Structure 1
Amino acid sequence: MPCIFLNKHKLLFIHIPKTGGRYITERFKENQGLLGGVEHFGCSTHISLRKLQVHKNFLEREIQDYEAFCVVRNPWDQAVSMHKFVRTAVRRRVKDRLLGKEVKRDTSLLGDLNILRQRYLCSFDYNVKERIRYQRLKEKGTLPRQQLDWVKSDQCVKTHVLRFESFLEDIKALPREVAHCLNGFVSKPQPYHDWFSPKLAGIIEQAYKPDIEALGYKF
């Protein structure tokens, strides 16, 4: 989802992928009255704080007047969650296109379907490595690789970093009305260890080393 401004509370939510952001966005939308309005900004699914500041002329406000918050997650757990999400999304797209009449009209779509099937059927190891490769290509744009890079700022913006694993405790740092909207969150710890070979676990450790060291996460 795009970033969210809670103007009444001078609060900005930065959505890091696979950290519970969909739940937060939906809860804010459902409680717009209590929160005094919810404003979305950005046409892309995710946008970093630094990239957001590039658009300050369109925001009609000063970013440094706001506090920001984000949610971070154990990188190994996050990788498993991302893999499951991608598989589900690709499977849905394959099904939709196979059922759609456009396949019969345009045979070029069949090649696209084959690519989708390959992504759906590929291994967890492959998906993890491809995601890291893609992030390296995009990290100078709107998709930073390290989770903490999402909330790095060229301006003085106070940031609350909440943990997916202790979300209900950490939201107490937010304004009371905001925390109240989010108190139904249920984090679902996954037994992620079995997904990783020692080599793949090491690849994650190297790729996300700054986050792991700064946040104290362990495999």
Structure 2
Amino acid sequence: MLVPKDTRRSFFRREKKNILFLHVPKCGGSFVEQAFLPWIRKCPSRRLRDARGHLTYREYSEVFDRHRVDLSAMHVFTVVRNPWDWHVSWFHYLKEDRGRGRSGMPTEVELFQSFDFSDYLRWLADDEAPTSPTRYIRKQQLDYLTDANGRLAVHRVLRQERLAEDLAKMTADLHLAVTVPESRANQSSHGHYRQYYDDFGIDLIAQRHKDDIKTFGYSF
């Protein structure tokens, strides 16, 4: 998306900054998009049909190449989240979808209607369990953010746990004319993530997200 760099006009137009928000699902996307309205609507990730959804950095590279969009010229940022909290959020989000289709994960939505969180963890532990083609939950967050050589490809990683503060710092550093919202959109109503886990669940997420934990320093 092209965002005004500051509020001062140059001779004919405002100076612009080319930015891509790489949206890891269930990581503060509504809050970030609220801050970047209306410019986010013009972002290639919105305008190009095959760039919509929760694409990985590698998928964006392929799509943008087809459309002659220069990803290397963009300042790419993202938001990550504690993996144990991430899975609690996924579980409640999909249970509450109830056929409305907003998740794009019909297999999980149908399954999870009868699940409690312990059922969800057993499903997650089974790599042969039914899942939707997107396999969003089966990825680590880092999988969304690496290039073809497995290197972290985004310029800036914000944290869900301090999102307003991190986003305000980023917009100040880049001199963007963006107003960070005062309150979070789509705040979760469920309890603290730690209350959902026993030893099995703690260890399961630690193993499945070992790269996230190592890279971003999260702990239970």
Considering the TM-score relative to the shorter chain, is it more than 0.5? yes
2:94, 2:109 within 8 Å by CA — same for their partners in 1?
no
Partner of 1:99: none
| Matched AA of 1:68 | V
- Matches of 1:51 and 1:135 in 2, distance apart? 24
- Matches of 2:65 and 2:214 in 1, distance apart? 35
| Matched AA of 1:176 | H
**Given the alignment, which residue of 108, 124, 128 partners 2:121?**
128
**Given the alignment, which residue of 35, 38, 50 partners 1:31?**
38
Partner of 1:6: 2
| Matched AA of 1:54 | E
Provide TM-score, normalisation by structure 1: 0.71
Structure 1 or 2: more helix by fraction: 1
1:147, 1:211 within 8 Å by CA — same for their partners in 2?
yes
Which 5+ residue runs of structure 1 have no aligned equivalent?
Answer: 94-111
Distance 1:64 1:23, change over 3 A: same
- Matches of 2:75 and 2:128 in 1, distance apart? 27
| Matched AA of 2:211 | P
Shift of 1:57: 3.2
Matched, 1:173 2:170: yes
**Helix, strand or coil at the partner of 1:64:** helix
**Given the alignment, which residue of 61, 68, 77 partners 1:69?**
77
Shift of 1:121: 1.5
Shift of 1:83: 0.6
Distance 1:125 1:207, change over 3 A: same
2:77, 2:157 within 8 Å by CA — same for their partners in 1?
yes
- Matches of 2:95 and 2:130 in 1, distance apart? 22
Distance 1:204 1:173, change over 3 A: same
What RMSD in Å do the two structures reach over aligned CA positions? Answer: 3.6
Shift of 1:166: 1.3
- Matches of 1:15 and 1:132 in 2, distance apart? 25
Partner of 1:56: 64
- Matches of 2:156 and 2:31 in 1, distance apart? 18
Shift of 1:12: 0.7
- Matches of 1:215 and 1:204 in 2, distance apart? 14
- Matches of 1:126 and 1:135 in 2, distance apart? 15
Partner of 2:140: 146
- Matches of 2:128 and 2:77 in 1, distance apart? 22
- Matches of 1:84 and 1:163 in 2, distance apart? 20
Aligned length: 190
1:90, 1:119 within 8 Å by CA — same for their partners in 2?
no
2:34, 2:181 within 8 Å by CA — same for their partners in 1?
no
Partner of 1:46: 54
- Matches of 1:217 and 1:77 in 2, distance apart? 10
Matched, 1:217 2:207: no
Which 5+ residue runs of structure 2 have no aligned equivalent?
Answer: 4-15
- Matches of 1:137 and 1:91 in 2, distance apart? 17
**Helix, strand or coil at the partner of 1:11:** strand
